[in-house]
Every structure is written in C-alpha cells, then in structure tokens.
C-alpha cells in the first residue's frame, strides 16, 4: 500500500452515496487485488463463435498481463488456452488471429494441438511426460454464440441466468446472430471509471446528444418513469418485459451476477440509428418494432444493449492501473447481408459517437481524480446503479 492506510480501512471509510476515494484509482496494490478477485474469477466476454467458424480458427483475448487463445478444436468445441508455454513461459501464439493446425512456441518449438495438448517437444529425455505439459485451460461458457471465459478454478455458476433468461435468448435469437464489427477504444483511465460511467445515465443528456434523441433513459427520472409506464401499458410486443435484477451486490450467492430489463426509446424511435429508424432485419423471433430496447448484463464488465434489429456488446478490460480498453461489438441476424440488409456505417454510427464521447469524459474524469484536490463527491439519484457496482466492488476487494 502506498500510504499508511490499509485496504480494509479504506473500504471501511467509504461513505455510501459518494464516489470512491482517490486511492482506489491510484494504488497498485488495490489494482492487484482487483485483478485477482475480479478479473481472474468472474465471467468475461471473450468474443463470438462467428469469429472462429472453422476448425483451427483462433483469436487472442487479452487484458492486464493475461493472454488467452480462443480456438475451435477438431470436434468443433471452443477452447480457451492460456498463451503461456509450459516450457519456460514464452507466449506461444503471437498472431492476433488466424487459422492453424497447431500452436508452436517460437522459442524452442514445443508444439501444442488445438486442444492444448503438448504434441512435440524437441530433445527432451524419455522421462519427460508430454501429457502433463498441456497448455493451461480457462473455463469456457457459451450463451448462444457469445463466448465467455473465466480464469477461476471454480467460477461462479451461470445456470440461474441461463434458466431465467432462456426466453430472452430465444426471442432475440442469440443462437442466430453474427458479429459484424468489433472496435477497441483505448481509454487512459482506471477501468473502474469506465465501468462506473457505463452504470449511470446522469451524464447522458449533457454528454450524449445523439443518444438522448433516441433513448428515453437520458430523460429526468420523472419523465422517464412516465414514458416507461406509458410503454408498459401499451406494450404489444412478444419480447419479455419482466426485469431480472440479480446484478452486482444483488447477485444470488454462488451465481454470476446478471440483469435484464426492457426500456422505452423516445416516442417514435425504434432502433439505435441516426434518425431512430430501423437499420437491419429483425432479430430472432421478433415480428415488429415496439419502440424499446433491452439491456442484458452478465459478469462485472460485459453489457449488452439489444435493439429489435441489432445488438451491441460492451466490454471493459484493464490494461494497467491507469489504462483500460472498451471493446464494442455489433451483432445482426446471421442471415443479414451487408449493403443489402444493412449498411455498416449506419448501424454502428450511434454507439461509435457515443463511445468516443464516453472516452473523452472518462479521461477528463481521471485527470480530475488525479488532482490533490479531488475528494469523493455526492452521487445523484440517477447514479443509483453505480452505487450497486460500488457496494459489490468494495465487498470484492475488502
Ligand atoms: S518457452 Fe516455449 S518452447 Fe521454450
Ligand atoms: Fe456514456
């Protein structure tokens, strides 16, 4: 700890209803604890199965000092291998994505098959047991085509979420989507400032003009409540309306935290596009537009916004104490064809401008938090969800 105060004292000193003390964003020991207790334990979105359709296809997933090879084996399974050679630890795979028959370490040429088993190790004596030297494996879970991984020995269960939201995954056709674009937005800030920013829409009206024209959530709480009531009263959609709030400090014990909700757009808008009009063929079993979008969140850093005709995935990952990355994923129905059924720039426009604006406000937030004069400030009622994150977070590192 860089000062005399311990982490548990810092946690105990936290005043509910306020932002965090500066040290939570600056202390290397706290960061180390976050990596261990949060990022090496919980489920994180690694990518989508449409990125690796064929045997031997792979891509790398990385954060902090971890690097994981996500690949498809001969049997069609998706596996996640730690990209750490079992000889002396070199990165085995250096290409960010590609197709291969085996992964051969560039250092002394130990070679691993697609399942991660060591298949060749030059000039090792006969007592050396290859079968004990396969690549370490991360847990893999699929939610439709979404690939989640956990680096924990015993990850939290996803079963409750899968059972509870089976209707949602069916309605939106989670098994029948494809990833059409992924874009990384590096942010010079501690990862928590990025996640906290995602948890509140207090900033939406002043910072996201484009978003505010489409999403009712940017309205004041009173106006939003009225709009939501109006939407629910008239909802004729066959998409699930019932929310599920088992997220962050409300998670069921032993289960990964998750949340589902459906919220109205601004009256007259139907999707996340320049004019709020449709941008792609309807997803899954959806028959029409109903002027709303669903939110689905699972694990601490993976969030989805599901319009009737496309889905956005958001993932925040720490790169170091004061640097993180926001990855945005755009999904459409697997049958949709570019330039016939959708135009990529139109479909990605809203969340590209919104994420660029977020990047700027988060970086400015970090600059102020770095000041000698920063002190925890009072949260607004529109930041109640950020409070759930903070409660959970403090419990995690306490
Ligand atoms: S470190 Fe990989 S073969 Fe030596
Ligand atoms: Fe934002």
**Nearest-angstrom CA–CA distance, 106 and 124:** 17
Q: Is 87 in the pocket of ligand 1 (CB under 6 A)?
A: yes
Residues 246 and 255: beta-carbon distance below 8 Å: yes
Domains observed in the chain = 44-142 (2.102.10.10), 157-397 (3.90.380.10)
Q: How far is the CA of 92 from the centre of ligand 1 (A)?
A: 8
Per-residue pLDDT of the chain (398 residues; tens, 9 = 90+): 556 789 999 999 999 999 999 999 999 999 999 999 999 999 999 999 999 999 999 999 999 999 999 999 999 999 999 999 999 999 999 999 999 999 999 999 999 999 999 999 999 998 999 999 999 999 999 999 999 999 999 999 999 999 999 999 999 999 999 999 999 999 999 999 999 999 999 999 999 999 999 999 999 999 999 999 999 998 878 899 999 999 999 999 999 999 999 999 999 999 999 999 999 999 999 999 999 999 999 999 999 999 999 999 999 999 999 999 999 999 999 999 999 999 999 999 999 999 999 999 999 999 999 999 999 999 999 999 999 999 999 999 99
**Nearest-angstrom CA–CA distance, 155 and 299:** 11
Cα distances (angstroms) measured from residue 159 to each of 164, 226, 292, 352: 8, 35, 27, 33
**Which listed ligand is nearest to 217 at the C-alpha?**
2
- Best residue among 82, 83, 85, 123 to mutate for probing ligand 1's pocket (most ligand atoms within 8 Å of CB) is 85
Sequence-distant (6+) residues with CB within 8 A of 88 are 107, 108
Q: Is 90 in the pocket of ligand 1 (CB under 6 A)?
A: yes
Q: Is 108 in the pocket of ligand 1 (CB under 6 A)?
A: yes
Q: What's the pTM value of the predicted model, to 2 decimals?
A: 0.97
Q: Is 88 in the pocket of ligand 1 (CB under 6 A)?
A: yes
């Amino acid at each position: 700890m860089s000062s005399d105060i311990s982490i548990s004292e810092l946690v105990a000193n936290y005043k509910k209803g306020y932002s965090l003390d500066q040290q939570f964003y600056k202390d290397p020991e706290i960061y180390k604890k976050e990596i261990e207790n949060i990022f090496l334990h919980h489920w994180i979105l690694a990518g989508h199965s449409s990125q690796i359709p064929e045997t031997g296809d792979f891509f790398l997933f990385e954060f902090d000092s971890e690097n994981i090879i996500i690949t498809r084996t001969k049997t069609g399974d998706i596996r996640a291998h730690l990209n750490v050679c079992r000889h002396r630890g070199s990165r085995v795979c250096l290409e960010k994505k590609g197709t291969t028959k085996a992964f051969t370490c560039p250092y002394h040429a130990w070679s691993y098959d697609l399942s991660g088993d060591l298949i060749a190790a030059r000039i090792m004596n006969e007592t050396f047991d290859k079968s004990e030297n396969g690549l370490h494996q991360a847990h893999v879970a699929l939610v439709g085509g979404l690939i989640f991984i956990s680096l924990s020995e015993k990850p939290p269960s996803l079963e409750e979420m899968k059972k509870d939201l089976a209707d949602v995954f069916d309605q939106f056709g989670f098994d029948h989507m494809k990833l059409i674009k992924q874009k990384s937005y590096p942010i010079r800030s501690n990862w928590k400032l990025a996640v906290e920013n995602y948890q509140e829409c207090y900033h939406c009206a002043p910072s996201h003009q484009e978003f505010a024209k489409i999403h009712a959530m940017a309205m004041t709480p009173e106006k939003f409540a009225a709009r939501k009531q109006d939407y629910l009263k008239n909802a004729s959609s066959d998409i699930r309306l019932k929310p599920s709030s088992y997220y962050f400090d409300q998670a069921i014990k032993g289960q990964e935290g998750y949340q589902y909700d459906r919220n109205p757009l601004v009256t007259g808008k139907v999707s996340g596009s320049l004019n709020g009009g449709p941008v792609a063929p309807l997803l899954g079993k959806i028959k029409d537009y109903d002027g709303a979008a669903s939110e689905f969140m699972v694990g601490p850093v993976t969030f989805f916004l599901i319009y009737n005709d496309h889905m956005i995935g958001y993932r925040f990952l720490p790169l170091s104490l004061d640097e993180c990355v926001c990855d945005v994923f755009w999904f459409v129905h697997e049958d949709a064809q570019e330039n016939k059924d959708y135009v990529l720039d139109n479909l990605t426009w809203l969340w590209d401008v919104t994420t660029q604006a977020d990047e700027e406000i988060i970086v400015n937030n970090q600059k102020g938090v770095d000041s000698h004069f920063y002190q925890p400030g009072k949260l607004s009622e529109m930041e109640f969800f950020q409070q759930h994150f903070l409660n959970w977070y403090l419990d995690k590192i306490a």
